[in-house]
Amino acid sequence: MFKRFDLLLVLSLFVLLLISTIVLRSIAPSIYPLYFVYFIIAVVAFIFFSQLDFDIISLFSKHLYIGSIVLLLVTLIIGKVTRGVIRWIPIGALTIQSAELVRPFLLLYYANQLTKDRLTANRLIRIIIMFLIPFGLILIQPSLGVAILFLAGFIGVLLSSGIKKSYFLWLVLFAIIFVPVSWQFLKPYQKARIITFVDPFMDPLGRGYNAIQSIISVGSGRFFGRGLGKGVQTQLAFLPERQTDFIFAAISEELGFVGAGMVLSGLFLILWRLTVFMERAISPAARAYLAGFFLMLFFQALIHIGMNMGLLPITGVPLPLISAGGSSLLATMIGLGIALGARKS
């Protein structure tokens, strides 16, 4: 049992989950005890997937892909509408965000498809179409933040799959052309977030409010922080979505540079272990999966911290393993469990 135990990764996980629990109990006590259910499910899922051989779970990659598409479609049909978006499926007292949950399984599918045979132009086009289907379903919800992370993971898989440079350059050119065009498909609130990023003080009480309060929270904590339960921005609710989108700002205010540094150190150690696993991957497909999951996790942390510090537009991306989001936590723990099974023991 626990044959693939990695001390540094597990210790980093423990520290980050402990910090998450302590901070969330301080800034959002109302989510407990229900959030412990997500926590327990995520830990059990991590242990379960870490003990599976990567080759065995890869046999079911097509089934997992189909199941992911079905789950995304079901969300659009019976999902719970909140603030004009359809992202969650209610299951009793719990809610599941399908776009978050399917991420590691989709990466697993692409890693196997891109590495099982020689990557010709026709195969690459087919795989891109298979990528665009769930990508489009995620955008329809809409969930721009998750879509960006999903795209980053897919790029990571591509880069590790031995794709020809000429193919990749064509894809980059397509992306450059697509980005300006995609502006027309963004929701009004998404456009507002990007415009506000340029100058949040243009509308300090409206569109720029979240960014300004986040920047104030990060700076006010100083070295040791104001103390748990003593944050002005967090406890008086000046900082919106403090338990999810802006938890790094909340940690910076209440635990200061020390607390923020511990979070960054824990995330760095996990990302570093993933790079080590890539060098010891049991197969090309395993290496491609690890590269995709690494890039996805890296961008998730980068985007969250960047938007909390006013360096990036606000996109509603949770901080991995820290933010209050049961589906995000579960997806990350499943992804890390598969990562442990993808390396040589």
- CA angle in degrees (0–180, nearest 5) for 41-265-246: 65
The phi and psi torsions of 252 (rounded to 5 degrees) equal -65, -35
Please state whether beta strands 80-82 and 94-97 pair in parallel, antiparallel, or not at all (unpaired).
Answer: unpaired
Separation between Cα atoms, residue 179 and residue 17, nearest integer Å? 36
- Tokens in use for 220? 């006010």
Burial class of residue 133, CB neighbours in 10 A (0-12, 13-18, 19+): middle
Residue of 257, 256, 317, 286 lying closest to 55 (CA atoms): 286
Q: How is 148-205 classified by DSSP, letter by letter?
A: HHHHHHHHHHHHHTT--HHHHHHHHHHHHHHHHHHGGGS-HHHHHHHHHHH-GGGSTT
Provide the pLDDT for residue 42: 97
Q: What are phi and psi of 8, to 5 degrees?
A: -65, -40
Q: Which of 46, 48, 22 is nearest to 35 (CA)?
A: 22
Evaluate the CA torsion angle 208, 211, 214, 215 in order and state its sign. Answer: negative
pLDDT in tens, the chain (345 residues): 455 689 999 999 999 999 999 999 999 999 999 999 999 999 999 999 999 999 999 999 999 999 999 999 999 998 887 767 788 898 888 899 999 999 999 999 999 999 987 878 888 889 999 999 999 999 888 888 899 999 999 999 988 887 776 666 766 676 666 666 665 666 666 666 566 555 555 555 556 667 778 878 887 778 888 888 887 778 766 777 788 889 999 999 999 999 999 999 999 999 999 999 999 999 999 999 999 999 999 999 999 999 898 888 777 799 999 999 899 999 999 999 999 999 987
Burial of residue 223 (CB within 10 Å: 0-12, 13-18, 19+) is: exposed
Q: What is the pLDDT, as a whole number, of residue 274?
A: 97
Q: Which two tokens stand for residue 263?
A: 């979070």
Q: What is the helix (H) or strand (E) element at residue 245, kind and residue range?
A: none
What pLDDT does residue 40 have? 96
Element (H, E) at 312: none
Tokens 């000429």, residue? 166
Q: Is residue 202 classed exposed, middle or buried when 0-12, 13-18 and 19+ CB atoms within 10 A define those classes? A: exposed
Tokens of 311: 């360096």
* Cis-peptide into 33, omega within 30 deg: yes
- How far is Cα 113 from Cα 119, in angstroms, rounded to an integer? 9
Q: What is the pLDDT of residue 197?
A: 53
